[in-house]
């Protein structure tokens, strides 16, 4: 394979991966009721969130949907009242209902 063919192949692969990531994100993002408002979440409420909870349970406790900051993953970010930032990773359950996705990880920085 010459340099030109290799260069075209790499360009096509990069394009296909980019399109795949964009369509993956938009497939679930259109189903979400995302707020564009940024509101503080009480730090004590974040302590009630545990792995295995559904996203619906998370939003019921926190009172907000958070901001989707995932790039190919489902990650919601919350700004806490103590100045920290929490991120919650969700694991898809095979359905298209984000409210049934379960918490797979939590970080607070």
Residue 34 has pLDDT above 60, yes or no: no
Class of domain 31-108: alpha beta
Answer yes or no: is pLDDT of 67 > 60.
yes
In this predicted structure, the answer to whether residue 33 has a pLDDT above a threshold of 80 is no
Q: What are the tokens at 46? A: 């974040």
pLDDT(52) > 60: yes
Binned at pLDDT 50, 70 and 90, residue 1 comes out as low
Contact status, residue 49 vs residue 58, Cβ threshold 8 Å: yes
Average pLDDT of span 63-75: 77
Residue 21: band (very low, low, confident or very high) from pLDDT cuts 50, 70, 90: very low
Q: What is the rounded distance in angstroms from the CA atom of residue 68 to the CA atom of residue 34?
A: 8
Verdict on whether the full-model pTM lies above 0.85: no
Average pLDDT, the chain: 73
Query: Taking a C-beta distance cutoff of 8 angstroms, is the pair 80, 46 a contact?
Result: yes
- Using CA atoms, how far residue 83 sits from 79, 86, 109, in Å, is 7, 10, 9
Measured CA angle at 90 (ends 93, 18), to 5 deg = 95
């Amino acid at each position: 394979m010459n340099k030109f063919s290799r260069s075209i192949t790499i360009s096509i692969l990069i394009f296909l991966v980019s399109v795949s990531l964009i369509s993956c994100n938009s497939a679930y993002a259109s189903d979400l009721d995302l707020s564009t408002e940024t509101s503080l979440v009480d730090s004590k409420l974040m302590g009630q969130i545990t792995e295995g909870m559904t996203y619906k349970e998370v939003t019921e406790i926190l009172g907000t949907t958070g901001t989707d900051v995932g790039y190919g993953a489902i990650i919601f970010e919350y700004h806490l009242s103590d100045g920290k930032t929490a991120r919650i990773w969700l694991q898809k359950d095979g359905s298209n209902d984000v409210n049934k996705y379960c918490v797979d990880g939590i970080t607070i920085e």
